[in-house]
Amino acid sequence: MKSPKFLISGGGTGGHIFPAIAIADEIKRRIPHAEFLFIGAQDKMEMEKVPQAGYKIEGLWISGLSRSSLLANLSFPIKLISSLIKAKKIIRTFKPDAAIGTGGFASGPALFTAVNAGVPIFLQEQNSFAGITNKKLAAKSKRIFVAYEGMDKFFPNNRICLTGNPVRKSLFTNKISQKEAKEKLGLNTEKLTILSIGGSLGSRTINNFWKQKANEVINLGAQILWQVGKSDFSSLDIENNFNNKEIHCTEFIKEMEIAYAAADIIVSRAGAIAISELCLAGKPTILIPFPFAADDHQTKNAEQLVKKEAAIKVNDRDVSQELLPKIENLINNQELRESLSLNIRKLAKPNATEEIVDQILTEINLDF
């Protein structure tokens, strides 16, 4: 029996890596004898995360163009040529039946080389504002899987498939009740819970807000489950400044499915995968877009939800003035919480990964 081979490239951030792994996992579930090879940027987090997920990866010497330093861009042409040469060698040796790109530095040379070798390519775009790599490759792709409406301003309309973003299955299978989730996390089951998440590294803006305003929020009758993140956790004087049984600080929440279940209100950054998870969690949400994301895509992601009355947005620069009143309004307005929850659930796409894999396998039409 022929073992189909899939080349997958995406990285630089978790927003590119985890969708790529989710797609590979679903293909592997359906075709256990399939072979996979990832291509990433050699100094980026995919070189660690992909092997942890059980897949082989090759690294390219590639990086993005710097927006702040022209000097830093002088080596870019050399890196690009080096990456194209290595990608060509990898593809000639591996001989993939299909190549899948989820964005990031390495997916450009990897998929460009693949399509020139006659390999069908597929793109997955997480954000409402398309990344430069996917825009460049769009005309040569078989299908482009997107999470937002209106993406025909970036891509050929006849190749777009509105599927949503692949997310971790474990987050939304075997859900537990809110009461049980609060008990597992040591929270007061009678109190409204605010979950604050700023990514694995954390959000300096959100963390500074809680440092200044956590006790005021507690006085409103709520409790806080605060994922501080790696960057700030070691410097946070929890014992002296947050010695309150209603403030639960942690560096990283491993069991996010329990945290989502426990939450009554969520405060979060607006990364594409975070938003896809939040839609599935279905809780009233305040989004604080990271203002320095490429092309300010987090703001554009958040605005898509605001238009549908599915979330509240607070700009990063306005957090110190606006976030506390927004939280207080949600705490005191059950009708608004229910409305936001209902509207954000309508945007959830729980079968995104399955639909993407359906399309890929149908398109390449191989006899497995």
Residue 227: which residues within 8 A CB-CB, separation 6 or more?
195, 196, 197, 198, 202, 250, 251, 252, 253, 259
* Distance, CA of 38 to CA of 106 (rounded, Å): 10
| pLDDT of 239 above 90 | no
168: annotated binding-site residue? yes
Identical fold for domains 5-165+350-364 and 170-346, yes or no, is yes
Mean pLDDT of the chain: 91
**Which pLDDT does position 122 carry in this prediction?**
98
pLDDT per position as a tens digit, 290-305 = 998 878 999 999 999 9
- Give the global pTM: 0.88
> pLDDT by residue (tens digit) across 148-161?
999 999 999 999 99
Average pLDDT over every residue of 349-357: 95
Predicted pLDDT of residue 72: 62
Determine the CATH number of domain 170-346: 3.40.50.2000
Residue 42 assigned ligand-binding role: no
Structure confidence by residue, pLDDT tens digits, 19-76: 999 999 999 999 999 999 999 999 888 999 999 999 999 999 887 665 556 666 667 7
Instruction: pLDDT band for 225, please (50, 70, 90 cuts).
Output: very high
Q: Tell me if 334 is assigned to a ligand binding site.
A: no
Task: Give the start-to-end residue ranges of the domains of the chain.
Answer: 5-165+350-364, 170-346
Higher pLDDT, 13 or 298: 298
Residue 368 in this model has a pLDDT that exceeds 90: no
Known binding residue 131? Answer is no
Query: What is the pLDDT, as a whole number, of residue 272?
Result: 93
Structure tokens at 28: 């592997």
Q: Which two tokens stand for residue 299?
A: 């703001």
Helix (H) or strand (E) holding 4, with range, is none
Contacts of residue 132, Cβ cutoff 8 Å, sequence gap at least 6: 294
The DSSP bridge pattern shows strands 143-146 and 57-60 to be unpaired
Q: Annotated binding residue at 200?
A: yes
Query: 194 - beta bridge partners?
Result: 224, 265
CATH number listed for the domain at residues 5-165+350-364: 3.40.50.2000
Q: How confident is the model at residue 174 (pLDDT cuts 50, 70, 90)?
A: confident
Residue 30 CB: number of other CB atoms within 10 A? Answer: 12
- Distance separating alpha carbons of residues 18 and 10, to the nearest angstrom: 9
- 159 annotated binding-site participant: no
* Residue 12: pLDDT band with limits 50, 70, 90: confident
Specify the amino acid at residue 231.
Answer: S
| DSSP label at residue 6 | E
Give the pLDDT of residue 64. 66
Confidence of residue 210 (pLDDT cuts 50, 70, 90): very high
The reply to whether 127 sits in an annotated binding site is yes
pLDDT in tens, 305-335: 999 999 999 999 999 999 999 999 999 999 9
Q: Is 253 annotated as a binding residue?
A: yes
